[in-house]
Chains A and B, each alone.
Chain A
Amino acid sequence: MEHIPILRMGEFLLITIQVDMHDRLANQLQDDLTSSIVKHGSRGVLIDISGLEVVDSFIGRMLSNIAAMSRILDAETVVTGMQPAVAITLVELGLSLAGIRTALTVERGMQILRHEGERDQLQQYREEAEEESIPGSELVPEGGTAA
């Protein structure tokens, strides 16, 4: 059975889609990926599509599904490397890939994932600090003083 390889890099998973996808391959990728996220406790998924010359509504739907499934499993998804002609075609087709984060390069995609991870950690520290501090002390919610 054909598989698209999923590479693990620390708490992230990397996928490069280089072949023209048909249904079974796409479904297999969804299965493999969700299993990998759970198995490794991954926090982010990066999908590089720089090798894809065509993204039709089927592939677009697959990318949306992957992003949604990953989110439910507590992992962020970033799609990188879309070719300009593909972007033009997608928009004219009426597909805006809503809900999918994109980045031009793998490097920037990784930055986004790392940044998300840091923000989560910061949030966790804050929550822990709030629990320890007296209610109503120095930690004011953002925008809370303006009123």
Chain B
Amino acid sequence: MVEVKTTEILPVRSSEDVVVVRTAVRKLAQTIKFGLVDQTKIVTAASEIARNTLDYGLGGEVSLELVRRESDQRSGLRLTFTDRGPGIPDIARALTDGWTSGNGMGLGLSGTRRLMDEFQIASNPGEGTMVTITKWSR
């Protein structure tokens, strides 16, 4: 079981919002004592997905949660990005290194997955996309 301790919701509608999300994620990561490398990984991952939400999902929001896992009492940071954009028709392909539908470098999703402990993505064409990423403290 995972207990949610706090929740904060931020908009992802402009490139300035992406900067705000990065700052908020960094602050939260510091409260649960992530090391500097893990902090950097989480903030970078948040930045990648936020940019996807903005560029491909045409804007949306992110929910920032401090969570606690009952099994081993570890704290974690969970970010859920949702948009109501066109969705991703082929998720498996979107998760492939080097694949891109836009003008990026094609490593947003696959690269982000490597930076985090958990990565979930759900998308329905025409309805939007939801990406959830989690990192647990060591």
Min CB distance A30 to B, Å, is 14
CB neighbours (8 Å) of B26 from chain A are 53
Q: Quick check: which of A40-48, A54-62, A129-137 contacts chain B, the rest being far away?
A: A54-62
**Chain B residue with Cβ nearest A92:** B114
User: Would A95 and B105 count as touching, CB distance under 8 A?
Assistant: yes
Please name all residues of chain B whose beta carbon is closer than 8 Å to the beta carbon of A23 when the two chains form the complex.
15
Task: A94 to B18: give the CA distance in the assembly, Å.
Answer: 21
Interface residues of B (CB under 8 A from A): 15-16, 18-19, 22-23, 26, 36-37, 39-41, 43-44, 47-48, 51, 97, 104-105, 107-108, 110-112, 114-115
Contact B40 A93 (CB under 8 A): no
Taking chain A's interface residues, is the majority helix, strand, or loop, or is none over half, making it mixed? Answer: helix
Chain B residues within an 8 Å CB radius of A18: none
A53 vs B32: C-alpha distance when bound (angstroms): 18
Question: Which stretch from A3-11, A68-76, A82-90, A105-113 is at the chain B interface?
Answer: A82-90
Q: In residues 91-132 of chain A, which contact B (Cβ within 8 Å)?
A: 92-95
B19/A22 in contact, CB under 8 A: yes
**Does A85 contact B36, Cβ atoms closer than 8 Å?**
yes
Query: Once the chains bind, are B111 and A93 in contact (CB under 8 Å)?
Result: yes
Cα of A103 to Cα of B107 in the assembled complex, Å: 25
Kindly provide the distance from the CB of A51 to the nearest chain B CB, expressed in whole angstroms: 14
Residue of B whose beta carbon sits closest to that of A20 = B19
- Shortest beta-carbon contacts, A-B, top 7: A93-B111, A85-B40, A22-B15, A23-B15, A56-B47, A94-B107, A94-B111
CB < 8 Å: which of B36, B37, B44, B110 contacts A56?
Answer: B44
Give which listed residue, A55, A57, A92, contacts B108 with CB less than 8 A.
Answer: A57
Given contacts A86-B40, A93-B112, 18 further A-B contacts (CB under 8 A): A20-B19, A22-B19, A53-B40, A54-B43, A54-B44, A56-B48, A57-B51, A58-B47, A58-B51, A61-B105, A88-B37, A88-B40, A89-B115, A92-B114, A93-B111, A94-B110, A94-B111, A95-B105
